[in-house]
Chain A
Amino acid sequence: MQDDLKNEQLARVNIYALISRILMNEVDEKLLKLILKDENILSFFPEFQKWDKRKKMSNKDLIEKELNVDFTNLFLLHLIPYESFYIREDQQMETGGDNPVQMLYNDFDFRVELDEARVMSADHIGVELEFMYKLCEAEYKALEDGEETIAAEIAEMQYNFLKNHLVEWAPMYLLNVKSEAGTAFYFDAADLAIEFILSDFEYLTELKNSEFSYKAKTGDNNGY
Chain B
Amino acid sequence: MYLQSRRTFLKGAAFSVAGVAIAKGVFSTDAVAESITESKFTDTPDSILFYPEVKEWDNFAELDGTDWKRGGIGRHGVKSAENPEGIEVNNFMIVPTVCSNCEAGCGLTAWVNKDTMTVRKYMGNPLHTGSRGRNCAKGYAVTSQMYDPDRIPFPLKRAPGSKRGEGKWIRTSWDEAMETIGKKMHDTLKVGDEMSKKLMIYHVGRPNENGFGHRVPHSMGIDGFDSHTNICSAGARQGTIQWANDDRNSPDWANADLILLQSSHAADAGHYFQQSAGNIADARKRGAKMIVIDPRMSNSAGMADLWIPAWPGTEAALYLYLTNRLLNEKSKNGSDLVAHDFVKEWVNWDRLMDNKDYLQKMIGYGYISKMPKDDSYESFIELAKELYAPYTKEMVVRECKLEGMEYKLDQLWEMFVDGGSKIATYLWRAGPIGHRGGWMNTRAGFLPLALVGAMRGDIGGVGLHHWHEISVAGKGDKATVAGERPAKVDVWNEIAWPPEYPLSSYEMSHLMPHLLMDTEWQQKWIKKGLNVPTKLAVWFPRMYNPVWINPDGFRWIEALKDETKVELSFNLSPTWSETNWYCDYILPVGLAGERNDQQSTPSKPEQRIEFRQAVLRVAAEKMGWKAKDPTRATLEAHMKYGLGEIWEESEFFPNLMVHHVDKDGSLGIRKHWASKKDPSRAVTVPEYFDAAMSLLPRLKETAERMYKDEEFPVYSYMRDHGAWTEKTNVYKPQEEELKFDGQNYFAHGKKHPKSEVRKDKFGTLWIEEDDRQHSIGIEINGELHEGFHTLSKKLEFFSEWFAEWKWPEYAIPIYPRNEGEYKKMEHIVTQVHHSMMKGDNEFALNTIFRLPYNIHTRSVNSKHLMEISQNHNPVWIYTKDAEKLGIKRGDAIRVNITDTVSGLDSGYFVAMAVPTEATRPGVLACSHHAGRWKLKNSVNIPGFEHALGIMGVGAPKYDMTNDGKIGTLKPVEGIKPRHDVWQFKEYNKDLDNIWWDGLSGAWQNAVAATHSDPIAGNHAWHQKVVIEKAKADDKIGDISVNYENNFKVYQAWRDKLTRPLEVGDKLRRPQHIKRPAVPLSNKAYAIEIKA
Residues of A within 8 A of B (CB): 6-8, 10-18, 20-21, 24-25, 31, 34, 37-38, 40-41, 43-44, 97, 102, 105-106, 109-117, 126-127, 130-131, 133-134, 137, 191, 194-196, 198-200, 202-203, 223-224
Cβ A34 vs Cβ B3 within 8 A: no
Within the complex, the shortest CB–CB distance from A134 to chain B, in Å, comes to 5
Q: How far is the CA of A100 from the CA of B12 in the complex (A)?
A: 30
Whether A130 and B24, one on each chain, are in contact in the complex, defined by CB atoms closer than 8 angstroms, is yes
**Contact string against A for B residues 99-136, beta-carbon threshold 8 Å, 1 for contact and 0 otherwise:** 00000000000000000000000000000000000000
Which residues does chain B contribute within 8 Å of A24, judged by CB atoms? Answer: 24, 26
With a cutoff of 8 Å between Cβ atoms, the chain B residues found around residue A126 in the complex are 24
Task: Report whether B13 and A20 are in contact in the complex, using a CB–CB cutoff of 8 Å.
Answer: no
Interface-centre pick from A106, A109, A117, A126 (highest chain B CB count, 10 A) = A109
Contacts of A16 on B, CB cut-off 8 Å?
A: 19, 23
Known: A17-B22, A43-B11. A34 touches B16 (CB 8 A): yes
Instruction: Decide: A130 and B27 in contact? CB cutoff 8 A.
Output: yes
Decide if B819 is an interface residue (CB 8 Å cutoff).
no
- A224 CB contact (under 8 Å) in B10, B12, B14, B32: B10
Cβ of B45 to closest chain A Cβ, rounded Å: 12
User: Cβ of B15 and Cβ of A41 under 8 Å apart?
Assistant: yes
Q: Are B75 and A223 in contact (CB under 8 A)?
A: no
Chain A's closest residue to B19 (CB) is A17
Which residues of B are found within 8 Å of A7, using beta-carbon distances?
10, 13
Interface residue ranges of B75-117 to A (CB < 8 Å): 75-77
Interchain nearest-CB distance for A194 vs B (Å): 7
Flag if B11 contacts A130 (CB, 8 Å).
no
Assembly CA distance A139 to B990 (angstroms): 48
User: Contact: B10 with A11, CB < 8 Å?
Assistant: yes
Task: Tell me the bound Cα distance from A193 to B913 in angstroms.
Answer: 65
Whether B10 pairs with A111 at a CB distance below 8 angstroms is no
Q: In the complex the two chains form, is B43's CB within 8 Å of A97's CB?
A: yes
Flag whether B665 is at the interface (Cβ < 8 A): no
Whole-angstrom CA separation of A111 from B29 in the bound complex: 8
* Contact call B3/A195, Cβ cutoff below 8 A: yes
Complex CA–CA separation, A7 to B74 (angstroms): 35
Contact A224 B27 (CB under 8 A): no
With A40-B14, A114-B71 as known contacts, state yes or no: A203 contacts B23, CB within 8 Å.
no
With beta carbons under 8 angstroms apart, the residue of B3, B19, B27, B30 that contacts A13 is B19
User: Could you list 14 examples of A-B contacts with CB < 8 Å?
Assistant: A6-B13, A11-B10, A11-B12, A12-B9, A17-B22, A18-B12, A34-B16, A38-B15, A40-B12, A109-B30, A110-B33, A130-B24, A196-B9, A198-B3
In the assembled complex, the Cα of A34 lies from the Cα of B24 at a distance in Å of: 14
Contact B20 A17 (CB under 8 A): yes
The answer to whether B4 touches A195, judged by C-beta atoms less than 8 angstroms apart, is: yes
A106 to B76, CA, bound (A): 11
Which A-chain residue is minimally distant from B70 (CB atoms)? A115
Q: Is the CB of A106 within 8 A of B9?
A: no
Which chain B residues lie closer than 8 Å to A106 at the CB level?
43, 74
Whether A97 pairs with B74 at a CB distance below 8 angstroms is: yes
- In the bound assembly, the distance between CA atoms of A126 and B22 in angstroms comes to 12
Name the one of B2, B7, B18 contacting A194, with C-beta atoms under 8 angstroms: B2
Q: Which of B45-76 contact A (CB under 8 A)?
A: 70-72, 74-76
Which chain A residues lie closer than 8 Å to B3 at the CB level? 195, 198-199, 202
Which residues from chain B contact A44 at a C-beta distance below 8 Å? Answer: 11
Chain A residues whose CB sits within 8 angstroms of the CB of B772 once the complex forms: none
How far, in angstroms, from A111 to B87 measured CA to CA in the complex? 13
Q: Which chain A residues lie closer than 8 Å to B4 at the CB level? A: 195, 199
9 further A-B pairs in the complex, CB-CB below 8 A; given A111-B74, A130-B24: A14-B18, A16-B23, A41-B15, A111-B32, A113-B27, A113-B75, A115-B70, A134-B27, A224-B5
Whole-angstrom distance between the alpha carbons of A102 and B72 in the complex? 13
Of the residues A25, A109, A223, contact of B24 by C-beta under 8 Å: A25
Total B residues in contact with A, Cβ cutoff 8 Å: 37
Within 8 A of A (CB), among B587-635: none
A126's closest neighbor in chain B, by CB?
B24
Q: Which residue of B lies closest to A43 (CB)?
A: B11
Alpha-carbon gap, A109 to B73, bound state (A): 12
Question: How far is B694's CA from A118's CA once the two chains are assembled, in angstroms?
Answer: 61
Instruction: Point out which of B2, B7, B71 has the most chain A C-beta atoms below 10 A from its C-beta.
Output: B71
Pair A112/B26 contact, Cβ less than 8 Å? yes
Which residues of chain A come closer than 8 Å to B7, judged between CB atoms?
224
Collect the chain A residues with CB atoms within 8 Å of residue B28's CB.
110-113
Number of A-B contacts (CB under 8 A): 138
* B13 lies within 8 A of A14 (CB): yes
CB pair B14–A111 under 8 Å, yes or no, is: no
Looking across the interface, which residue of chain B has its beta carbon closest to that of A23?
B24
Closest to B22 in A: A17
> Residues of A contacting B75 with CB < 8 Å?
111-114
Contact in complex: B1, A195 (CB < 8 Å) = yes
Q: Which residues of B contact A200 (CB under 8 A)?
A: 9
One of A113, A133, A199 near B23 (C-beta < 8 A):
A133
B628 CB, nearest partner CB in chain A, Å: 48
B1091 in the interface, Cβ–Cβ < 8 Å? no
By CB atoms of chain A within 10 A, which of B2, B30, B70, B72 has the most? B2
A117 partner, pick from B26, B70, B72, B74, beta carbons under 8 A: B26
User: In the complex the two chains form, what is the Cα distance from A130 to B23 in whole Å?
Assistant: 7
Interface 1/0s, chain B 449-476, versus A by CB < 8 A?
A: 0000000000000000000000000000
B6 at the A/B interface (Cβ < 8 Å)?
Answer: yes
Give Cα A8 to B26, complex, Å. Answer: 24
Across-interface contacts of B9 in A (CB, < 8 A)? 11-12, 15, 196, 199-200
With CB as the reference atom, state the residue of chain A lying closest to B85.
A113
8 cross-chain pairs, A with B, having the tightest CB-CB distances, nearest first: A17-B19, A11-B12, A109-B33, A224-B6, A17-B23, A11-B13, A15-B12, A10-B13
Q: Which residues of B have CB within 8 Å of A37?
A: 16
CB of B1032 closer than 8 Å to a CB of A: no
Evaluate contact between A199 and B6: CB separation under 8 angstroms.
Answer: yes
Given A24-B24, A97-B74, A114-B75, A38 and B16 touching (CB < 8 A)?
yes
Q: Which residue of B lies closest to A15 (CB)?
A: B12
- Output the nearest chain B residue to A116 by Cβ-Cβ distance: B26
Considering the complex, give the chain B residue whose CB is closest to the CB of A131.
B27
B1000 to chain A, nearest CB (A): 38
- Determine the distance from Cα of A195 to Cα of B25 in the docked complex, in whole angstroms: 23
Asked if B191 is at the interface of the complex by the 8 Å CB criterion, the answer is: no
* Binary flags per residue of B294-327, CB closer than 8 Å to A gives 1, else 0: 0000000000000000000000000000000000
A202:B6 contact, CB within 8 angstroms:
yes
**Chain A's nearest CB lies how many Å from the CB of B78?**
12
Nearest B residue to A4 via CB reads B10
Output the least CB separation between A108 and chain B (Å): 9
Do A111 and B76 form a contact, CB below 8 Å, given A17-B20, A40-B16? yes
Rounded to whole angstroms, the CA-CA distance of A209 and B18 in the bound complex is 30
Nearest B residue to A194, CB-CB: B2
Are A8 and B10 in contact, CB atoms less than 8 angstroms apart?
yes
Give chain B residues whose Cβ lies under 8 Å from the Cβ of A12.
9, 12
Chain B residues contacting A203 (CB-CB under 8 Å) are 6
> Does B24 contact A20, Cβ atoms closer than 8 Å?
yes
CB-defined contacts of B17 to chain A, threshold 8 Å: 34, 38
Rounded to whole angstroms, the CA-CA distance of A37 and B16 in the bound complex is 9
User: CA separation between A127 and B3, bound complex, in Å?
Assistant: 23
**Knowing A10-B12, A38-B15, A41-B15 touch, does A111 contact B72 (C-beta < 8 A)?**
no
**Complex contacts, A20 vs chain B, CB 8 Å:** 23-24
Chain B nearest CB, measured from A220 CB (Å): 13
- Once A8-B13, A10-B13 are accepted as A-B contacts, the answer to whether A34 and B22 lie under 8 Å apart by CB is yes
